[in-house]
Structure 1
């Protein structure tokens, strides 16, 4: 394992209505050692208070992913999309030439929890677009996003693939980095022993030269996101 990002070491911002942990530099949190990993630029672990949210704001030339783990997001954007996105759904928004949107906690009683993920695009200034899917209820490795739709995956304007990994307690799997590529694992929930070390919710692991990792789940709710990304230029 070439890069380890422990949850306890992440950047942190608490605005009252929003409690956010940053795996990489974001907003007022800056650390030159943690600017992203390959084309993976942002993983923010956000908790939003009931009824609160992000007012209308703009993005351009970024692939923006929301992975909802608890509650529901009320999404509205300048393309005319207006949806309520429940837990266990994932959305992809290609900002392209420019898009504005707002995202609020749909509930007035319960908190919203989701991961906000940014990946650098392969092509700039494309036409903005939006998609979402419900995550399948299955264990193992599931492809969620890829440059071209495949096996129900969403298309992403990036040289990247995103998978979800779910494991039952005391089950194991091996994940392999593709040749000349990098890989990044972010633990969404649960605990696991990975190459002999213990990791838990919020931890991240990057592979640049390491060929594979062995994952042995230590909890019933182990879920992780596995990113296949371009090689990092020296």
Structure 2
């Protein structure tokens, strides 16, 4: 690829094609910082890769092939929990970068502002979780990981509304539902440090859901479409799982995701 001016698309593509976990964290933070400081041109002059680069480990498995976790409360179960969370955040770095590089040309500048800040947050979350794993004598890549997270986004790489509907407004919103219970379990194990990490992640994820909802609603309003109706249609079409309670309604509402979006789909 020929050299050119530092554009946002080139910087994002470079970060997506960075495979090592530590290098990926650095690359995501670099792109977010350079954009925030006005050092990247708002130009989309290179395509995004079909898939981001991945480290050799962890081995990615289909959900049904994931090994059963160790007995609850054991060292193995704690490591498995933190490893699964670290993997989610690692993939989330690429998801946030890719949505800007893939769809940013058709969106306003604040779309890039918001989702590059998300990429930096996810990089920080991953770094915290990897450090947690190392404190337990493990590291990211030591266990197999769920291979379906990127696949869910890859299947909706043609439509910004679908990507917003599924990734921040379904997958990340589900994190708002389940994280409080995880925090309580971690506290019950006497792990105050782990609880603080999860509380920080929860606060940030509310904001991430808010960005997704804001831009989804803005996209719908520009097209003269009722946001709730389109969201429900896209979820039925593209999301293979169930929208199921219990919901953290207060956190969802804080992220702009009101009951009239998801209540009628709840199973």
After TM superposition, the score normalised by the length of structure 2 is: 0.23
- Normalized per residue, which structure has more helix? 2
Q: Which has the larger radius of gyration?
A: 2
- Normalized per residue, which structure has more strand? 1
